[in-house]
């Protein structure tokens, strides 16, 4: 077994890929298992493999592999569950449906209980936290009881918190019971069943050993403890195992990974090949990263560094944004590519995005906000699916927005914005029933050719209303008869396909909930869409990133598959306390569900503040290891709300003598 250990950009993944290609050229790849960190990594790996005799490409994330195995060997698992054999295969529930179900449980419980009185989060936000608890427990190999015990210890001795946590534990138990009874597997239950019933089975271990002779694992430091159990099992019986490990990526312990546990388990068993050169950052950037850590945790001094090119300070935040825009334009005029400049802020509000975007646009440049979530409903063709559904089901009482109706009319009838707006106004006046054009004098106003299309749409909707179709069938007819003839782009087709697929999965799960009537399933799905749960980011890549300056948060910068490295960084609002985000929420805390919790068995403000500092330092170090040319610091004395700012980050970044340009 060999571990390639080195920093970001040292060529670890390239070495792993070359080993795979070498084996594929000599023999087929059927008996080689590759595990990578995420779905983007799977796609990237598969796209880089070109072999004449490949065989099966067994490239998975841990969750993807576990899901395939649970599906393939489901009878071995189900025979051990309460109730025994009941189904041919389980239903795999996506995260959107899991959050929707949990939100319903929380909402109904909150309506009849006073234990939530001091909680400001919405039912949807609380549901996300409860799902996170279940996922964290599964990733760390904790049983439901162990998870509950830790949450109650975290609650301390406050009566209100104890009552609240007992209440939400009952909700999580209700969710888990529903899933088990109906053989519906969310992420947490799938991982738990795989590790509890399948992986320990001698019969399955024999099959696993016979199937894979070679194991390649990228980013071992990012693997969760549950995944490390699988890796240890496969590595015991195969011929060759190769890992990559980044010793500098401490940030992963805040997102489920456990690099220390991985180091303790695998390093004693492996030969370690160290890689040092890093193409994604400069020596000065790495030195600054180390100096920040020393200053924060070892009372070191941050000496003047050539990597910090200057500070863009101002009294007011608006002035800071103008200085930032000017600096970006200056770099662009010097020949720096737009995609080589990244602006990072802990929070990106509309004022920041609008100000920077307008400043650059006026000077012929473009900005892309990578932190902005792209909802599926924002794709015009997907939005048309929803708008036409609501026009066909006025009894649902779901509000159609004016902009959604106008854009749908423009798409379907090929109307310009002015005419589609005029038609949308008349439809709203007519209680969202499509009016007769001649009665409103609209035929000539929208054009006779468009009027023919309008009459067809009106007749089509009336016909489908009378047929009382199931929503899935309705979606398919909308796409096939109304949208497909409009020559949709690949993004449009994928959006509609995802919408239909999401509906299918949603109905599979929610139809088994006795509290939701069958005829209400469609309305509940539309609610899920409008709550913004279903995102389109996983399907689409932003086009032209290299021609756009990047605006993003630290998290998005580090975890975006599109950012390998940049030349220049500009950190905004460095006096803001928003850089210091707590990992703990009202009902969830990843730290207490990790291995580290067992060491102290307590939670207090000192631990919370310490973890905030550790997380930010890890963020900054990882960010600097993806920059090559320089860093600018931008700050304002007053925040966007007019409040004085005195966050610690500003002090961390002050050398003995400020260098560079102002």
* pLDDT above 70 for 540: no
- At residue 519 the predicted structure's pLDDT band, cuts being 50, 70 and 90, is low
* pLDDT above 60 for 185: yes
Dist CA 121 CA 175 (whole Å): 20
What are 2's two structure tokens? 């060999």
* pLDDT above 80 for 126: yes
- At residue 543 the predicted structure's pLDDT band, cuts being 50, 70 and 90, is very low
- At residue 545 the predicted structure's pLDDT band, cuts being 50, 70 and 90, is very low
- Give the per-residue pLDDT at 54: 62
- Give the per-residue pLDDT at 133: 96
State CA 14 to chain mean position distance. Answer: 25
Dist CA 71 CA 53 (whole Å): 28
- At residue 388 the predicted structure's pLDDT band, cuts being 50, 70 and 90, is very high
The mean per-residue pLDDT over the stretch 434-456 comes to 84
* pLDDT above 60 for 627: yes
- Give the per-residue pLDDT at 135: 95
- Give the per-residue pLDDT at 660: 43
Report whether 175 contacts 144 (CB < 8 A).
Answer: no
- Give the per-residue pLDDT at 542: 45
pLDDT in tens, 210-257: 999 999 999 999 999 999 999 999 998 788 999 999 888 777 777 778
- Give the per-residue pLDDT at 167: 95
- At residue 661 the predicted structure's pLDDT band, cuts being 50, 70 and 90, is very low
CA dihedral 372, 96, 222, 233 (to 10 degrees): -160
* pLDDT above 80 for 77: yes
* pLDDT above 90 for 359: yes
Residue, of 300 and 349, whose pLDDT is higher? 349
pLDDT in tens, 37-55: 888 788 888 877 776 556 6
State CA 604 to chain mean position distance. Answer: 29
The mean per-residue pLDDT over the stretch 123-137 comes to 93
pLDDT in tens, 150-174: 999 998 888 899 999 999 999 999 9
- Give the per-residue pLDDT at 524: 85
The mean per-residue pLDDT over the stretch 323-331 comes to 97
Per-chain mean pLDDT for the chain? 87
* pLDDT above 70 for 343: yes
pLDDT in tens, 186-197: 999 999 999 999
- Closest Cα to residue 342, out of 550, 542, 559, 627? 550
- Give the per-residue pLDDT at 600: 61
- At residue 532 the predicted structure's pLDDT band, cuts being 50, 70 and 90, is low
Quote the percentage of the chain above a pLDDT of 90: 48
Contacts of 521 (CB under 8 A, 6+ apart): 471, 506, 507, 510, 511
pLDDT in tens, 630-651: 999 999 988 777 777 777 888 8
- Give the per-residue pLDDT at 52: 57
The mean per-residue pLDDT over the stretch 89-101 comes to 91
Contacts of 245 (CB under 8 A, 6+ apart): 3, 4, 5, 12, 219, 220, 221, 259, 262, 263
Angle between helices 95-111 and 123-139 (to 10 degrees): 120
- Its pTM stands at 0.86
Dist CA 168 CA 174 (whole Å): 10
pLDDT in tens, 436-446: 887 777 788 88
- Give the per-residue pLDDT at 538: 45
The mean per-residue pLDDT over the stretch 250-271 comes to 85
């Amino acid at each position: 077994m060999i571990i390639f250990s080195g920093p970001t950009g040292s060529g670890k993944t390239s070495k792993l890929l070359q080993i795979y290609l070498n084996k594929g050229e000599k023999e087929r790849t059927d008996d080689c298992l590759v595990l990578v960190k995420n779905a983007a990594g799977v796609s990237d790996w598969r796209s880089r493999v070109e072999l004449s005799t490949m065989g099966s490409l067994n490239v998975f994330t841990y969750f993807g592999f576990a899901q395939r195995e649970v599906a393939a060997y489901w009878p071995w698992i189900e025979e051990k569950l309460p109730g025994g054999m009941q189904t041919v295969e389980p239903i795999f529930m996506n995260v959107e449906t899991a959050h929707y179900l949990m939100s319903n449980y929380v909402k109904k419980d909150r309506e009849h209980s006073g234990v939530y009185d001091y909680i400001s989060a919405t039912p949807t936000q609380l549901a996300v936290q409860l799902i996170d608890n279940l996922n964290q427990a599964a990733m760390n190999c904790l049983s439901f009881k162990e998870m509950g015990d830790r949450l109650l210890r975290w609650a301390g001795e406050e009566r209100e918190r104890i009552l609240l946590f007992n209440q939400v534990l009952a909700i999580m138990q209700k969710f888990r019971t529903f899933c088990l009874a109906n053989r519906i597997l969310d992420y947490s239950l799938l991982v738990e069943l795989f590790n509890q019933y399948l992986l320990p089975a001698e019969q399955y271990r024999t099959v696993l050993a016979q199937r894979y002779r070679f194991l390649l694992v990228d980013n071992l430091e990012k693997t969760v403890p549950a995944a490390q159990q699988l890796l240890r099992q496969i590595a015991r019986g195969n011929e060759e195992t190769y890992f990559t490990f980044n010793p500098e990526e401490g940030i992963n312990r805040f997102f489920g990974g456990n690099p220390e546990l991985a180091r303790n388990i695998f390093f004693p068993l492996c030969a370690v090949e160290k890689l040092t050169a890093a193409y994604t950052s400069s020596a000065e950037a790495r030195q600054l990263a180390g100096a920040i850590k020393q200053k924060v945790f070892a009372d070191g001094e941050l000496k003047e560094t050539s990597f910090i090119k200057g500070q863009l300070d101002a009294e007011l935040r608006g002035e800071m944004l103008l200085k930032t825009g000017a600096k970006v334009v200056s770099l662009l005029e010097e020949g720096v590519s737009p995609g080589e400049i990244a602006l990072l802020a802990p929070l990106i509000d509309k004022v920041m995005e609008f100000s920077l975007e307008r400043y650059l646009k006026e000077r012929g440049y473009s900005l892309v906000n990578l932190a902005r979530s792209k909802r599926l409903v924002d794709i015009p063709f997907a939005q048309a699916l929803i708008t036409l559904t609501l026009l066909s089901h006025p009894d649902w009482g779901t509000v159609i927005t004016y902009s959604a109706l106008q854009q749908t009319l423009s798409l379907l009838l090929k109307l310009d914005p002015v005419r589609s707006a005029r038609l949308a106004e008349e439809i709203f006046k007519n209680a969202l029933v499509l009016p007769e054009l001649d009665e409103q004098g609209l035929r000539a106003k929208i054009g006779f050719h468009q009027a023919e299309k309008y009459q067809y749409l009106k007749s089509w909707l009336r016909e489908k209303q009378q047929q009382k179709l199931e929503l899935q069938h309705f979606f398919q007819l909308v796409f096939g008869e109304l949208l497909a003839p409009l020559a949709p782009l690949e993004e449009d087709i994928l959006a509609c396909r995802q919408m239909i697929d999401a509906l299918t999965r949603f109905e599979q799960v929610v139809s088994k909930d006795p509290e939701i009537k069958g005829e209400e399933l469609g309305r509940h799905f539309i609610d899920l869409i409008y709550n913004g749960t279903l995102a389109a980011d996983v399907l689409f890549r932003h086009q032209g990133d290299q021609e756009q300056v990047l605006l993003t948060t630290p998290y998005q910068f580090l975890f975006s598959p599109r950012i390998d490295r940049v030349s220049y960084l500009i950190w905004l609002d460095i006096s803001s306390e928003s850089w210091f985000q707590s990992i703990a929420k009202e009902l969830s805390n990843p730290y207490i569900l990790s291995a580290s919790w067992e060491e102290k068995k307590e939670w207090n403000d000192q631990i919370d503040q310490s973890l905030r500092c550790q997380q930010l330092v890890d963020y900054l170090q990882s960010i600097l290891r993806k920059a090559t040319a320089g860093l600018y610091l931008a700050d304002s004395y007053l925040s966007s709300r007019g409040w004085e700012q005195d966050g610690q980050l500003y002090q961390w970044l002050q050398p003995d003598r400020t260098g560079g340009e102002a």
